[in-house]
Amino acid sequence: MAKVTKDMIIADIIALDAGTAAILMAAGMHCIGCPASQGEPLEEACMVHGMDVDQVLDQINTYLAEKS
């Protein structure tokens, strides 16, 4: 099973499973297609958007675990 970490780049997370994009969008990260997401770690993106990175991680990793 794949597991996402705080230091993973947004683009890499989406490449791992395209369904993670919907989770990020629902959490309020609507800029996942912007150029910054190609090099921005999840933790930094969450900080910029005022999001709890641990909560987002839990949602993504739960989704990935349920798929496997």
At the topology level, CATH places domain 10-67 in SP0561-like (1.10.3910)
The reported pTM is 0.90
Domain ranges of the chain: 10-67
Spatial separation of the C-alpha atoms in residues 6 and 35, rounded to whole Å: 19
Binned at pLDDT 50, 70 and 90, residue 3 comes out as very high
pLDDT for 67 beyond 90: no
- Burial of 42 per CB tally in 10 Å (0-12, 13-18, 19+): buried
pLDDT, tens digit (0-9, with 9 covering 90-100), for 10-53: 999 999 999 999 999 999 888 777 787 789 999 999 999 899 99
